[in-house]
A and B are shown apart, each in its own frame.
Chain A
Amino acid sequence: MNSPILRMENIVKTFPGVVANRGVNLEIRRGEIHALLGENGAGKTVLMSILYGLYVPDSGTIYLNGQPITIKSPKDAIAKRIGMVHQHFMLEPTLTVAENIILGQFPSWTILNKQRIGEVHEKIRSLSNQFGLGVDPAARVSRLSVGEQQRVEILKVLYHGADLLILDEPTAVLTPQEASRLLEFLRDLAKKGLTTIFITHKLDEVMQVSDRVTVLRDGQVIGTCETRETNPRALAKMMVGREVLMDLHRKLASPGEPVLAISNLRVRDARGLPVVKGVSFTVRAGEIVGVAGVSGNGQSELALAIAGLIDDVAFDRFQLEGKDVTRRDLRAASHRHSAHIPEDRQKMGMVLPFSVSENFILEEYSSPRFARHGFLRGQAIRSYSQNQVKKFDIKVSDVSEEIANLSGGNQQKVVVARELDRHPGFLLVNQPTRGIDIGATEFVHQQILAQRDGGTGILLISTDLEEIFALSDRILVIFEGEIIGELPSDRSQVEKVGLMMAGKRDPDRE
């Protein structure tokens, strides 16, 4: 029963200038849930991509069921019943769920007529029911929420009959509810005999769901242990190589003048339906206001509206640093007075084909720091970028590297570093630590607090309650586009906030 289904031996993979995996040994037992932990850029995604045939290792051997195998392409991996859910979704939004799932399955000349598609839909529907995923095969992927897309990704893998399931940070984009549903689901799969490799940065998830854990650091395995014989603190230390403060020390805030004052903000979505329904609040200098809520309750639109990035917006009043802003110059004013860490780093936070240093100066490229007489100052930009890279501990071989080559967490750090360095009066932060490791999360949290202590007013939007409570001075709860309450940021309120997030306006009444 406990014979290894998979053994990876001495896997080495280098990219120009970077060693991503330096002799990794990994053993996965049949039927277990094996968590893979490690800092951003530790080499987790690369290791799994090798297993899935996306990269060819420089050296090393992979044994599946005791047999040495070579996996040259994802096609080989699928044929060997290995399935992978990628850190960044691999779904084409203009196609339907079913079309995404059957990509590559049939020989080219197969005619996809009504009957064939009907059979596919039937098979997807029955799998979806069997595993309680609730996926509609005929739906176009562009219409699905992030959580639903995640389930399509998993269904894709199940449909092709995987024995070994690789999940690369599947919970990073999920709401807490969706995440705990996913974890339960993984347990069910394990009972049915599936083996899962599960990458995450959330230690409580590791403790909750995995049988064993392997920790990677700097492309090497630090150790593998049974989950029940370890604890989060020990794991954090293994990952980072030092003690991690799991609790932040937060001074009492001393709020000053309002930097952002909004009254009756309304936003409509592309279909003309109201998604933010008359929101009013104030953020003062030197305080952090947290917006808690289950994702999809209007937070994204609220953030875009404040950043001036959405069209269908109306408000009675919008003040930035004491000045009234009209609808028309919202974008310009917002850019002048505030900085913005957007929720989707790849879509809004950076230009993927640009280098790391170009991404650092995306907004300030014309300031005298980086340009003189209309010419970019290469040397200044370079040394500035090198400083930022050092300060934020960003893993990159050189600042001239394309940002697309960085690991997900390191991409996020570039965005955070850039925005924090603008020293704005008002800072809008949406999911700042999505996909970054605990060491880096701690660091980013410290940086955000330092900005607050320096007098910046901060609006923090996060679906992660831990983060909300760790950073905020006050908490607003958003539900279906309305702010349904304000609470002090006090751990005793966690439960109450949780209930309000689910729509209970007045939990004390019951």
Chain B
Amino acid sequence: MDVAVILAFVSGILAATWRMATPLIYASVGEVFAERSGVINLGLEGIMLVGAFNAYTAAFYSGSLWLGLLAALFTGVLLGLLFAFFTVTIKANQIVVGTAFNLAGSGISGFLFESIFLKSNYSSLGIPTFNDLSFPFLTKIPYLGDILFHYNILVYITVLLVPLASFVLYKTAFGLAVRSVGAHPKAADTMGISVSRMRYICVVIGSVLTALGGATLTLAFANQFVEDMTSGRGFIALAAVVFGGWTPWGATAASLLFGVFYALQLRVQAMNSVLLPYQFLQVLPYVATVLALISVRHRAGSPKALGVPYRS
């Protein structure tokens, strides 16, 4: 192989990395808020799936991608409120509720997709998707243009989202309250901060961003909903939160790392000279996730009250 081929291969992977990482970034940055406030939302997978489905349905019937996005946003708010109601108000076990969300999310979206779309005789189930933006000159720069300047708007939003999330968490009174509620809720309570209120807000933030992450799948990457199309991305986002040390930048870096493996898998699969059955390649992101989690086993930093309902 000569240099040009290798360069093309690497840039090809990098060009797909950010795109593949985008749904993970949305979900994991959102989940950083939930977990920093002390609630672990194991139901990301289900929420992402329902977000993807509702975005698709709204876009399909209205013809507007923006309405699709709005539908995902509302989905996130509703599911977030529901999750918070169970875990914060009723104080049910967070792991159990999360698992229920995943099962229900997969079941309901699959059932609805089948009964609304597959059983009807639409001539096409496709929807238009968000187009890649093109920037004068920049897009044309060799390699760099491919890696940085050929994505759709939903990918570029992460450029704003991550610094904003970090700013909110570390530089505002709200963020300080979030961190204190997740670490020492009783102390926060005695300072007049409402633990439940903060947890509701953070769970909703997490759920909304996760649903939007789901929407990127149907509105930008595929042009259609597919049953269980998130295929574990919600869980990988949870892993990214841990691997990223519960910070927005860390979660983003972890998401990008996992994105590399998604891209690698796609790229190698696309090449004709396959040495391995493609199933081996598909496993890559998950193996990377497991390895990443093993490597952080000894690092402290999880919010101390994570997963523990607060009773005054």
Q: Are A103 and B172 also in contact (CB < 8 A) when A90-B186, A90-B187, A108-B177 are?
A: no
Cβ proximity bits A96-128 to B, threshold 8 Å, 1 near / 0 not = 000110111111111111000000000000000
Name the residue of chain A whose CB is nearest to the CB of B312: A54
Q: Are B183 and A94 in contact (CB under 8 A)?
A: yes
Given contacts A108-B177, A111-B172, contact A100 B194 (CB under 8 A): no
Alpha-carbon gap, A105 to B173, bound state (A): 8
> Do B174 and A109 touch across chains, with their CB atoms under 8 A apart?
yes
Contact among A73, A78, A95, A106 for B180, CB-based, below 8 A: A95
**Docked complex Cα distance between A84 and B186 (Å):** 13
Q: Which residues of A contact B136 (CB under 8 A)?
A: none
Residue of A nearest to B303 (CB): A94
**Main secondary structure on B side of the interface with A:** helix
CB distance from A305 to the nearest CB of B (A): 23
A100 proximity list for chain B (CB < 8 A): 187
A residues less than 8 Å from B192 (CB atoms): 73-75, 77-78, 104
* B91 contacts across to A, CB distance below 8 A: none
B187 with A112: CB separation less than 8 A? no
In angstroms, Cα B183 to Cα A226, docked, is: 43
Q: Name B170's closest neighbour in chain A (CB-CB).
A: A112
Is B171 in contact with A103, judged by CB distance below 8 angstroms?
A: no
Check B173–A108 contact: CB distance below 8 A: yes
Q: Are B183 and A84 neighbours in the complex by a CB distance under 8 Å?
A: no
Chain A residue numbers with a CB within 8 Å of B187 are 90-92, 100, 103
A458 to B306, CA, bound (A): 40
Q: Which residue on chain B has the smallest CB distance to residue A113?
A: B171
Binary CB contact string for chain A from 28 to 52 against chain B (1 if under 8 A, 0 otherwise): 0000000000000000000000001
Q: A84-B190, A103-B188, A104-B191 are in contact. Are A110 and B177 (CB under 8 A)?
A: no
Q: How far is the CA of A94 from the CA of B302 in the complex (A)?
A: 12
| B267 close to chain A: CB less than 8 A | no
Q: Provided the pairs A54-B190, A92-B184 are in contact, do residues A104 and B177 lie with their beta carbons within 8 angstroms?
A: yes
Which residues of A sit under 8 angstroms from B190, Cβ to Cβ? 52, 54, 74, 84, 86, 90
Chain A residues closer than 8 Å to B228, beta-carbon distance:
none
Tally of contact residues, B, Cβ under 8 A: 20
Are A95 and B177 neighbours in the complex by a CB distance under 8 Å?
no
State whether A90 touches B174 (Cβ < 8 A): no
Q: Name the CB-closest residue of A to B174.
A: A108
Q: Does B193 contact A (CB under 8 A)?
A: yes
Chain A residues whose CB sits within 8 angstroms of the CB of B312 once the complex forms: 54-55
Q: Which residues of A contact B173 (CB under 8 A)?
A: 102, 105-110, 112
B189 within 8 A of A: yes
Q: Which residues of A contact B189 (CB under 8 A)?
A: 54, 74
Partner among A94, A104, A110 whose Cβ is within 8 Å of the Cβ of B188:
A104
Distance in angstroms between the alpha carbons of A108 and B193 in the assembled complex: 10
| B292 to A: closest C-beta gap in Å | 24
| B171 neighbours in A (Cβ, 8 Å) | 111-113
The answer to whether B184 and A90 touch across the interface, beta carbons within 8 angstroms, is: yes
B138 interface hit (Cβ, 8 Å): no
Closest CB-CB distance, B188 to chain A, in whole Å?
6
Q: Of A73, A90, A95, A113, which one neighbours B194 at CB under 8 angstroms?
A: A73
A468 to B174, CA, bound (A): 48
Q: Closest approach, in angstroms, between the C-beta of B140 and any C-beta of chain A?
A: 40
> When chains A and B are docked, how far (Å) is the Cα of A75 from the Cα of B191?
7
CA distance A107 to B172 in the complex (A): 9
B233 at the interface (CB under 8 A from A): no
B residues near A103, Cβ cutoff 8 Å: 176-177, 180, 187-188, 191, 193
A109: B residues at CB distance < 8 A: 172-174
The answer, yes or no, to whether B179 is at the interface (CB within 8 Å) is yes
CB within 8 Å of A: which of B162-214? 171-174, 176-177, 179-180, 183-184, 186-194
Q: How far is the CB of B308 from chain A (nearest CB, A)?
A: 9
Give B91-111 as 1s and 0s: 1 = Cβ < 8 Å from A's Cβ atoms: 000000000000000000000
- The chain B residue sitting closest to A156, CB to CB, is B191
Q: Among residues 33 to 70 in chain B, which have CB atoms less than 8 Å away from a CB atom of chain A?
A: none
Chain B neighbourhood of A90, CB < 8 A: 184, 186-187, 190-191
Flag if B176 contacts A102 (CB, 8 Å): yes
Distance A55 CA – B311 CA, assembled complex (angstroms): 11
Residue of B nearest to A52 (CB): B190
Most buried by B among A52, A92, A94, A99: A92
Q: How far is the CA of A492 from the CA of B193 in the complex (A)?
A: 53
Rounded to whole Å, the gap between the CB of A53 and the closest CB of chain B is 9
Smallest beta-carbon distance B171→chain A, Å: 6
Query: Smallest Cβ distance from B16 to chain A, in angstroms?
Result: 37
Nearest opposing residue in chain B for A73, CB measure: B192
For the complex, give the distance between the alpha carbons of A90 and B186 in Å: 7
Contact A99 B186 (CB under 8 A): no
Interface centre among B176, B180, B189, B193 (most CB of A within 10 A): B176
Instruction: Find out whether the CB atom of B183 lies under 8 angstroms from the CB atom of A92.
Output: yes
Write out the residue numbers on chain B whose beta carbons fall within 8 Å of the beta carbon of A52. Answer: 190
In the assembled complex, the Cα of A106 lies from the Cα of B172 at a distance in Å of 9
Q: Pick the residue among A77, A84, A104, A110 that contacts B172 (CB under 8 A).
A: A110
Residues of B within 8 A of A106 (CB): 173
Question: Hey, which chain B residues are within 8 Å of A111, CB to CB?
Answer: 171-172
CA distance A163 to B114 in the complex (A): 66
Chain B residue nearest in CB terms to A54 = B312
How far, in angstroms, from A102 to B193 measured CA to CA in the complex? Answer: 11
In the bound complex, how far is the Cα of B188 from the Cα of A106, in angstroms?
A: 13
Contacts of A102 in B (CB 8 A): 173, 176
List, in ascending order, chain B residues with CB within 8 A of A112's CB: 171-173, 176
Provide the A229-240 mask, 1 if CB < 8 A to any CB of B, else 0. Answer: 000000000000
Report the Cα distance A111→B171, complex, angstroms.
6
Across the two chains, which residue of chain A brings its CB closest to B182?
A: A92
B253 CB, min distance to chain A CBs, angstroms = 21
Produce 1/0 per residue, B125-154, CB < 8 A to A. 000000000000000000000000000000
Chain A hits for B183, CB < 8 A: 92, 94-95
* A–B Cβ pairs within 8 angstroms, 20 of them: A55-B312, A73-B192, A74-B190, A74-B191, A78-B191, A91-B187, A92-B183, A92-B187, A94-B183, A95-B176, A95-B183, A99-B180, A104-B191, A104-B193, A105-B173, A108-B174, A110-B173, A110-B174, A112-B171, A112-B172
Residues on B close to A: CB < 8 A? 171-174, 176-177, 179-180, 183-184, 186-194, 312
Additional A-B contacts beyond A103-B177, A110-B173 (18; CB < 8 A): A52-B190, A54-B190, A74-B190, A75-B192, A78-B191, A90-B186, A90-B187, A94-B183, A95-B179, A99-B180, A104-B188, A105-B173, A105-B191, A106-B173, A108-B174, A108-B177, A110-B174, A111-B171
Please name the 9 residue pairs, one residue from A and one from B, whose CB atoms are nearest each other, closest first.
A75-B192, A104-B191, A106-B173, A108-B174, A90-B187, A103-B191, A110-B173, A92-B184, A104-B192
